[in-house]
Copies of this chain bind each other. A is one copy, B any other.
């Protein structure tokens, strides 16, 4: 991303900054490492304004005339739909490019060339790619802003931001909270990124997982260096009552070599109404979705079940990021 000449702001009366003062104008969103507390606070303010606007009028023309290239090299209906909706609710348009096997990629074209071609048509590029580092590579070559929508086992920063924004909006603050992460903490890109973001705040982290799916040592060390209190558990019964946030992820059968071991642990990580008896009245349950049995559907009507609202916060975060990199916030 190199500097782009400012164009005029068509919406002077909207509660959003113009490009001359927009701090994220023209920037890429590649990693949660780009965000400190100030930047998170700024992003969440913009996302909160998006929420208010959507609740009040549904959609508005902040990005009218802007085009998003939604470039997905692997399927992700949820993320793709969320960015599409975000752009459309801001009055912009979308070029969907979903069919990997069909794109010129299969003719052997390099990612840099694809990105440099697409930016001839679009104003911003959202990239989902199975390989770590793909979005950095794309951003290196692109003149237009690139937003990383997941690069393999690398990062998925907009998911981490929406997770943190969910906690912030639902509970009103971040400092002082106890956040319990549950399930597959070894392979979950989501929980790693969220833990890193949470380490910027004064929180207590609990990790509940089977032995073979524990939070990786390098993440624990990294967070330890920030001085946070972290504890590991095998059973969530031990920590449910003190938790403000319960972040559930799936324990996948495929991760276990010994299927008997899977059978023996799987039941221990399923949340039911019975689980919730011990939980705080204001606790929230989160899940990156899709779930496959790890949260009982009976729980869906419990006001603490925040996982569908979490999707909605994702919309506001993505609206905010699009507006920010396009110089409108």
Q: Which of A's residues lie within 8 Å of B, judged by CB?
A: 7, 57-60, 64-67, 69, 75, 77-78, 81-82, 84-85, 88-89, 93, 95-99, 102-104, 107-110, 112-114, 116-118, 120-123, 289-292, 297, 300, 308-309, 311-312, 314-315
A309 — which chain B residues lie within 8 A by C-beta?
A: 120
In angstroms, Cα B101 to Cα A98, docked, is 12
Determine if A65 and B81 form an interchain contact, defined as CB atoms under 8 angstroms apart: no
Do B102 and A75 touch across chains, with their CB atoms under 8 A apart? yes
Contact A67 B95 (CB under 8 A): no
In the assembled complex, the Cα of A108 lies from the Cα of B104 at a distance in Å of 28
Copies of this chain, count: 3
Q: In whole Å, how far is A175's beta carbon from the nearest beta carbon of chain B? A: 28
CB pair B120 A95 closer than 8 Å: no
Taking a contact as CB atoms closer than 8 A, the residue among B75, B89, B97 that contacts A65 in the complex is B89
**Alpha-carbon distance A142/B201, docked complex (angstroms):** 36
Taking the closest CB of chain B, its distance from the CB of A2, in whole angstroms, is 12
- How far is the CB of A50 from the nearest CB of chain B, in Å? 13
Q: Which residues of B contact A97 (CB under 8 A)?
A: 77, 81
Contact A290 B59 (CB under 8 A): no
